[in-house]
Amino acid sequence: MWKEFFYYTKSERRVLLLLLLIACVLLVLLVLRRWKLPVSPVPLSDSAQIDSFLLTLEERDSIRMKRYEKSLPLPVVLKTFDPNTADSLSLRQLGLPSYVVRNILRYRAKGGVFRNADSFSKIYGLTSEQFAELKPYIVIADVYKPSMYDTSAVRIKEDTMPQVMKYPVGTVIDLNKADTASLKCVPGIGSGIARMIVAYRERLGGFYSVSQLQEIAYVDTSMNKWFRVDGEVLRKLSVNESSLEKLRNHPYMNFYKAKVIVEYRRKRGKIKSLSQLSMFEEFTEKDLERLAPYFLFE
């Protein structure tokens, strides 16, 4: 009976053997795939890239955390301060918005001076409420008070020093030869402005026009009538020989203009005329017009 149960025809045995063979092959492939397939090692370059990527993620997280910390409002601490010398952090701690602090620093960078507490209220962006809150804490150092920059007269105590005599109307002096003593004799100019004029003249290399006085703080056009410029007595600035530092120190130059000149000299050789400088975007037409009397091309 059992022999009949396991009896297969010749064709049935062929199919059965084929199925068993296929099953064995699939089993062997499955075992090889799971246990005997070698794992390819990660190339060193890929590993380095992964480490670099992870490091980048850490740096980004660190930057985000720093930005978050900076965005947190600073605790307001009301204390005495001098708006002429207080740094940005001190101003922010007083409760001033960042854009107001930037306006204060820009005003000072351009030569602006706060002579008294009320002059601080003119800063753009500062509200009347903020000024009223800060006014009791404003302290102006003596060096910045109006008496040091009086443009209407020289305030000197009569019991300590004699009164400076002013020039009569119609007097005209040479702007490039006048010393501080001569300048103080001009109505409207005190010792502070006289020193600024001499210092600016030294940085320029001399004045070629009286109108250049308006580039100095507190000097308005009403003072021009007292001065003249005699002849060409300018100290020239050598374009092809001067160092980067010397070029950038001229009032009409800056780091970027000086850098362009130095790089051009290094790569192309000497600069022969202003027309070559006009090709650079750092120099505007106005810049070249103002610099022309001072530049020397050997």
Predicted confidence at residue 202, as pLDDT, reads 93
Q: pLDDT tens digits, the chain, 298 residues: what are they?
A: 444 445 556 677 787 888 888 988 888 888 877 765 454 554 545 566 666 666 676 666 666 655 554 555 567 778 888 988 888 788 888 888 888 888 898 888 877 888 888 888 888 888 888 888 888 889 888 878 765 444 444 444 444 445 678 899 999 999 999 999 999 999 988 888 999 999 999 999 999 999 999 999 888 898 999 999 987 779 999 999 999 999 999 999 999 999 999 999 999 999 999 999 999 999 999 999 999 999 999 8
Among candidate residues 94, 92, 96, 90, the one with its CA nearest the CA of residue 77: 94
Longest dimension (CA), the chain: 149
What Å distances lie between residue 290 and 120, 198, 209, 252, 265, CA to CA? 33, 19, 10, 7, 22
Which token pair is 231?
A: 């002849």
Contact 226, 171 (CB under 8 A): yes
Q: Are 296 and 236 in contact (CB under 8 A)?
A: yes
- Residue 80 and residue 140: Cα distance in Å, rounded? 10
Contact 138, 120 (CB under 8 A): yes
Cα three-residue angle 183-184-185, rounded to 5 degrees? 90
pLDDT at 26: 87
Q: Are strands 173-174 and 227-228 parallel, antiparallel or unpaired?
A: parallel
Contact of 82 with 65, CB cutoff 8 Å: no
Element (H, E) at 67: helix 44-71
